[in-house]
Structure 1
Amino acid sequence: MANFIDRRLNAKGKSTVNRQRFIERHKKQIKKAVSDAVTKRGVTDIDKGEQITIPTRDISEPTFHQGKGGIRERVHPGNDKFNRGDQIERPQGGGGQGSGQGDASNTGEGQDDFVFQISNDEYLELLFEDLELPNLQKTQLSKLVEYQTYRAGFTNDGVPANINIVRSLRSSLARRIAMTAGKKKQLAQLKQQLQELLETPGGNADTIKRLEDEIALLKKQIDKVPFIDTFDLRFNNYAKREVPTSQAVMFCLMDVSGSMDQATKEIAKRFYILLYLFLTRTYKNLEVVFIRHHTQAKEVDEHEFFYSQETGGTIVSSALKLMHEIQQKRYPESQWNIYAAQASDGDNWSDDSPHCKELLEKHILPTVRYYSYIEITKRPHQTLWAAYQSLQEQFNNIAVQHIREADDIYPVFKALFKKQTA
């Protein structure tokens, strides 16, 4: 077996690079663990890091060894089954007495799975990868800021993957010239003196010996100058630049009526916390308006939206009316990208659902970039679901999704805000 050891010079932050390579290599398993963790956590712990378990068979290193093919001649003492020239079948894989890395054995020995802890930032980055606000367009004012990575010159510290070979060699050449130019000039003078003495009949042998020693010493000093040193290394530097795009507002409408039991409210809160983390992490200066409603709707702050215990009957149109009023007063569609996300159990006064459809059809959907509605229920859908579904046939900026249990939260969230391909 051959082992390859990377002894290249590395910066003090090399563990960060190795960590990112490991995450990239096992991203599929890590992302699955991250998505599973969303549904298992409480509301207050949804943004924390996660402990990932990866089977040892998936992190084994590749090895080089001699294969089983080829023509071989062997002597098997005590053989009474084969004669010279007989062909022996190739051994079947897995039938030997190898030292595998199974999870358990008949002797009680085994190897634990590899446990990998990811940080809060890594957790959120994997959680919201490939997500975006749909249909975002530039408006007259530029306040919403995204970040774009760009080249920012060179730096003396970095990771091996970012080494700039041309710049490093140029720096190495400049250093070697600076350190050896004087010695090379002196060496040339000594060589010329030695040549003149050698060409002169009866030259002084002691002087010749002294010049030869000085020349040898100078050559030795010049040869000691390293071809490349850590001082010479130059790394490509990358930085993040704020890229103004557009300003946007997200309206979050949540049903807190009596029909929404505690489990349903918990699912709705998890969905909105995911949405809030996604918006605040991905976009800068994006405004979020929180609206809670039962028979009446009111605008609340972030804390009251997630933790208030208020309850009552259900009139969904009250939230839509309040959203439209706020949008008209503070967020004109000519200057703002308007988004809305509504969560409900679908329970509503039967004569109010047509009114909701009318408000959406005439006032809200013509002004918003994207409207998402999730219905959290295990019961059959009611009139509100039918009203929203009918709007999907008329407008392409509304999405309707169904959540039955906590395991559906993250898949539905990804479906609603999946990054659009060009």
Structure 2
Amino acid sequence: MDIIDRRPNPHGKNIENRQRVLARARDAVQRAARDAVASGKLREVAQGSAVSIPSDALHEPSLHRVFTGGSRDIVLSGNKVYSRGDRIQRPPSSGSAGGGAGEAGEEGGGEDSFRFVLTRDEFLDLFFDDLALPDLVKREITTTESMSSSRAGLSNDGAPSQLDLSRTMRYSMARRIGLRRPKPDAVRELEARIAELEAGTDLTLALHDELAALRHDLATALRRLNRVPWIDPVDLRYRRYTQTPKPSTRAVMFCIMDVSGSMTERMKDLAKQFFLLLHVFLERRYKRVDLVFIRHAEAAEEVDEDTFFNDPRTGGTIVSSALHEMIRVQQDRYASSGWNIYVAQASDGDNSASDTPKSCALLQTRILPAVQYYAYIEIVGSGAIIRGETDLWRGYKQVAETMERLVMRQVAEKRDIFPVFRELFARRAEASP
């Protein structure tokens, strides 16, 4: 009877090979993953995806024989067609043995590619690998889901990979000494002396008694060797680890979105896609990050996630109302002494002329001194070139010239979201997740 195991990955034995493939093709997979996200829906980012990478991304350096020089003897067994000196033509690439470019071309790809199905964790790790919240510092230690392994002594059972060899041999030696297990050198000395006496021809009575005693000692030593093993299960000692809570930093991200009448549905969709990507990034990379959603028209309000992304609203535009709401929530729940505070604001830049100076003053005097990072994304339309810079953009730009914590970018189309996002949250030399 034949037993065939058809499971795709029994007992996880292929995980190490999978990780090696990902490491070799990391850059290619990262580019393919970002392209896959750019062509799909952001709500599906966290569900994993299948990506295709060029086959040459998996090639490893190897040594090849050079056939242009040297002398060789080649034997073609069973040959009835070719003679010495004949040239053997290469089979056509479109043949069944060739595979390669011809077949790929028939499918429309033009190149061989390698299709790799990434798990959810692998996909997000690759997509957000080089991103981080800027200037994240430890404020207060708080309860977190993050755990770390720490040494917790030794145990008598465990995984073979955790065997503490030095401790095991120490206990083995102590046991053998306590049980008086004869040393191999002592046994060899007894055997050598017995062989010497047995080789003699004229043995005195004393030598006969000595030989009998040596044979008895050798038999006893051999029995002890068999009864007292070199390594006994009681000697085994394994390193034991326990999961302990890992101190982490606390951070809050304020998401501020303009939902006024000047924001067209296309602009609102672009802003929502940016915040969706930011949401997935924070959930994946950080265990302890609170999200506060604030939307505003002529008045601002804190809302839940579903309302922020789905509930329609319109009206006039007063940006300072959102900044006042952000300050209120921050002072009530997120003291700057204990929290890393981040803000991401999306707007079309259309604001009441009298309100822009108020917004800039709030930003410069009350918000930026208390936050780690403030990202302003302006959603521009097709008429942005004719209209030029908005009042809000010019006001924020003056603030940004003196305060580096404010970073500004513009987004005009969907394809701009990912490059802008990576510019805003690219890992810096001093940043650590």
d(CA) in 2 for partners of 1:356 and 1:274? Answer: 26
Quickly say closer, same or farther: Cα 1:337–1:103, change in 2 above 3 A: same
Which residue identity is paired with 1:41?
Answer: G
Counterpart contact for 1:144–1:246, Cα < 8 Å = no
Residues 255-299 of structure 1 deviation map (CA, whole Å, 9 limit, x = unaligned): 122232333222222221222222233333322211011111111
Match of 1:268 in 2: 271
In the superposition, the TM-score normalised over structure 2's length comes to: 0.70
2:383 equivalent to 1:375: no
Match of 2:118 in 1: 118
d(CA) in 2 for partners of 1:48 and 1:106? Answer: 28
Equivalent residue for 2:402, pick from 394, 397, 416: 394
Match of 2:31 in 1: 32
Counterpart contact for 1:143–1:245, Cα < 8 Å = yes
**Alignment coverage as a number of residue pairs:** 379
2:418 equivalent to 1:410: yes
Quickly say closer, same or farther: Cα 1:274–1:238, change in 2 above 3 A: farther
Quickly say closer, same or farther: Cα 1:256–1:105, change in 2 above 3 A: closer
Residues 124-157 of structure 1 deviation map (CA, whole Å, 9 limit, x = unaligned): 1122223222222333x32386958677589964
d(CA) in 2 for partners of 1:144 and 1:264? Answer: 39
Counterpart contact for 1:49–1:118, Cα < 8 Å = yes
Please state how far the C-alpha of 1:342 moved relative to its aligned partner: 0.5
Counterpart contact for 2:100–2:112, Cα < 8 Å = no
d(CA) in 2 for partners of 1:251 and 1:417? Answer: 15
2:331 equivalent to 1:332: no
Match of 1:88 in 2: none
Please state how far the C-alpha of 1:243 moved relative to its aligned partner: 4.0
2:310 equivalent to 1:287: no
Please state how far the C-alpha of 1:389 moved relative to its aligned partner: 1.4
Match of 1:103 in 2: 101
Identity %: 36
2:429 equivalent to 1:421: yes
Which residue identity is paired with 2:408?
Answer: V
d(CA) in 2 for partners of 1:65 and 1:411? Answer: 41
Which residue identity is paired with 2:198?
Answer: L
Match of 1:46 in 2: 45
d(CA) in 2 for partners of 1:78 and 1:189? Answer: 69
Quickly say closer, same or farther: Cα 1:149–1:194, change in 2 above 3 A: same
Match of 1:298 in 2: 301
2:357 equivalent to 1:354: yes
Quickly say closer, same or farther: Cα 1:74–1:198, change in 2 above 3 A: closer
d(CA) in 2 for partners of 1:269 and 1:106? Answer: 38
Listed as ranges, the matches of 1:53-202 within 5 Å are: 53-60=52-59, 63-72=62-71, 102-104=100-102, 113-139=113-139, 141-143=140-142, 152=151, 157=159, 188=188, 191=191, 194-195=194-195, 198-201=198-201
Which residue identity is paired with 1:291?
Answer: I
d(CA) in 2 for partners of 1:242 and 1:405? Answer: 43
Counterpart contact for 2:248–2:288, Cα < 8 Å = no
d(CA) in 1 for partners of 2:45 and 2:72? Answer: 64
d(CA) in 1 for partners of 2:336 and 2:418? Answer: 30
Counterpart contact for 1:146–1:283, Cα < 8 Å = no
d(CA) in 2 for partners of 1:388 and 1:150? Answer: 46
Please state how far the C-alpha of 1:196 moved relative to its aligned partner: 5.4
2:20 equivalent to 1:21: yes
Secondary structure of 2:46's partner? coil
Gapped regions of structure 1 (runs ≥ 5): 1-10, 80-94, 204-210
Which residue identity is paired with 1:128?
Answer: F
d(CA) in 2 for partners of 1:419 and 1:72? Answer: 56
Counterpart contact for 1:134–1:420, Cα < 8 Å = yes
In the superposition, the TM-score normalised over structure 1's length comes to: 0.72
Which residue identity is paired with 2:102?
Answer: A
Quickly say closer, same or farther: Cα 1:56–1:237, change in 2 above 3 A: farther
Quickly say closer, same or farther: Cα 1:107–1:290, change in 2 above 3 A: closer
